[in-house]
Amino acid sequence: MSDERHIARIRVEALAPGHAPGASQWAQRLGLPLDGAANFALQLGAEGLQLAELGPQAPGPVRVDFVEGAVAHRRLFGGGSGQMIAKAVGVQSGVRPVVLDATAGLGRDAFVLASLGCQMTLIERQPIIAALLEDGLERALQDAEVAPIARQMRLLCGNAIELMSQWQGEPPQVIYLDPMFPHRDKSALVKKEMRLFRPLVGDDMDAPALLEAALALASHRVVVKRPRKAPIIEGGKPSYALEGKSSRYDIYPKKALKP
C-alpha cells in the first residue's frame, strides 16, 4: 500500500473573503497553492493563522496564541522563576540570561523565559511552523499586556546548525534545545500538535550535530530538554540534570552565570 497519507500536501485558505489578500501573501511567501487536493490547510481568519488537518477524523487546528489560553495561564500562574525551565537556563536573583532557543516550535518555552525577563532569539527551521510563530508574535504585539514580552523575542527562520555556526556578534549566554523526539507527553494538546507536525517535521535525526553547534557557540551553558527516561543526546555528557514528572533538562555548563 502507498505511504502517501504520510506526505503532507498543504494548501492555503482564507476563512472569510476579507482574509483572501493575506492568505494569498502567505501562499506566495511559502510557495504553497491556494487550492487543489491537500491533507492540510494553512488557514487565515479573524483569530490569525492556523494549521488544520483536513478530513473527518482530524483534530482541531493549531495556532500560536500568546495572549489567551494555555500560554497565558502559564504566564499568570505557572510559578514564575521557580519553574524548572527557569532554573535550568540559570534564571536567579539578578540574572536574566540572553537565551537562544534553537528549536523554537510554537514558542511556548521561549515565551515563558521572555516573560521572566530573558532576551530571547528563536530559531525555527520548518517554514510553516515559523509562519504560525511569526503570526502569533505579531498578534501579541497588539496586546498592551503581552507586547512587552513579545518585544523580548526575535524570530529567525532557518537551519539552526547553520545559523549557529555562522553566528555574528555577541554569542548567546545560554542555548536551549528541545529536539523533536518521539514524545512521551500524553496531554491532548501535545498529541494533537504531534499529529499535525510530525508529517511536516519528522524526528530530529541531527540532534548530535545540533548539540555540538550549541556547545561551540554558547558562552555560559547549553540546556537540552528531553523526555524524562530518554537517553542523553550523543556527544558531550551533561554535568547534571533537573528532572520533572515527564521531562528533564540536561545541563552542559561552560561558565557560571553571575549577576
> Which residues define the annotated binding site for S-adenosyl-L-methionine?
108-109, 124-125, 178
Q: In whole angstroms, what is the distance from residue 124 CA to residue 201 CA?
A: 11
CA neighbor of 232 nearest in space, from 213, 251, 216, 206: 251
What residue numbers does the annotated binding site cover? 108-109, 124-125, 178
221-227 and 174-177: which strand pairing? Answer: parallel
Averaged pLDDT, 162-187: 84
* Structural domains in the chain plus CATH codes: 4-53 (no CATH), 69-253 (3.40.50.150)
Alpha-carbon gap, residue 40 to 201, rounded angstroms:
14
Is residue 181 over pLDDT 70?
A: no
Q: Summarize pLDDT for 53-71 with one digit per residue, the tens.
A: 998 888 889 999 999 877 7
pLDDT in tens, 222-257: 999 999 999 999 988 999 999 999 899 999 999 999
Q: What percent of the chain has pLDDT over 90?
A: 73
CA distances to 79, 112, 149, 228, 242 from 118, rounded to whole Å, are 16, 9, 9, 25, 20
